[in-house]
Amino acid sequence: MKKNERALIVEKTLNKLYPTVPIPLKHNSIFELLIAVLLSAQCTDERVNQVTPSLFSIGGNAYEMSKVSINQIYKIIRPCGLAPQKSKAIYNLSKILIKNFNGNVPESFEELEKLPGVGHKTASVVMSQGFGHPAFPVDTHIHRLAQRWGLTNGKNVTRTEKDLKKLFSETIWNKLHLQIIFYGREYCKARSCYGIECEICTTCYPKRKKIIIVNKA
């Protein structure tokens, strides 16, 4: 089976299972989305959604957040992990947004990736889920599944992103990356399936017997 044929199987199966997909991180503005995505690094979405209501109640925009001390931010977000670095990043990026963008989140990869604590994946999520621009954020689930499905060699997340963008139409990137995440959480988990059990893995590779060891993100 060719790679583009496997990609078609992936698309059809995910559309059947997830015809609509909710945004995992709860937010009421693009600023809140940016902060939530920043907090989600090495942390579950569930945990982020538990702490952000308290954080956003005192810092729902850049102007409000810039008045909250780093220590206050730290105390609230501590359950998310990496709290010292994240609290400083949140405080400092709020100051930068006020100084350079009138408190607004910039609508470009270049400007987003200049902000403290914001890498390419975070910027991609904001551009996709916040502004609606085509983007393909690659997290650990997507990186793992793309390898199990034979869509990339998984050398690194940058390579995985490029490979997936070539295989799938730009018009479905924003929905597809969320569909893959939900599938990875529910059916093709990190410590199960291993490329030989779930519907997509067995359809793409019906004769596969050996488990797939994936390259980590």
Per residue in 10-64, pLDDT (tens digit) is 999 999 999 999 999 999 999 999 999 999 999 999 999 999 999 999 999 999 9
pLDDT per residue as tens digits for the range 147-195 = 999 999 988 999 999 999 999 999 999 999 999 999 999 999 999 999 9
Q: Could you list the residue range(s) of the whole structural domain that residue 90 is in?
A: 30-130
**Cβ 66 vs Cβ 91: under 8 Å:** yes
Q: Looking at residue 217, what is its pLDDT?
A: 75
Instruction: Tell me, yes or no, if 75 is annotated catalytic.
Output: no
Instruction: Tell me, yes or no, if 45 is annotated catalytic.
Output: no
7 pLDDT tier (thresholds 50, 70, 90): very high
Closest CA to 105 of 68, 137, 132, 131: 131
pLDDT per residue as tens digits for the range 112-133 = 999 999 999 999 999 999 999 9
On whether both 10 and 35 belong to a single domain, the answer is no
Domain-ending residue, one of 105, 130, 155: 130
On whether both 121 and 37 belong to a single domain, the answer is yes
pTM above 0.85, yes or no: yes
Can you list the pairs that 125-130 forms with residues at least 24 positions away whose Cβ atoms lie under 8 Å?
A: 125/33, 125/37, 126/30, 126/33, 126/34, 126/37, 128/173, 128/174, 128/177, 129/23, 129/33, 129/174, 130/30, 130/33, 130/34, 130/105
On whether both 158 and 119 belong to a single domain, the answer is no
- Is 217 a domain residue? no
Domain-ending residue, one of 71, 97, 130: 130
Domain-ending residue, one of 77, 104, 130: 130
Q: Looking at residue 139, what is its pLDDT?
A: 92
Instruction: Given the residues 139, 163, 175, 210, select the one marked as catalytic.
Output: 139
Instruction: Given the residues 26, 75, 114, 121, select the one marked as catalytic.
Output: 121
On whether both 197 and 147 belong to a single domain, the answer is yes
On whether both 86 and 108 belong to a single domain, the answer is yes
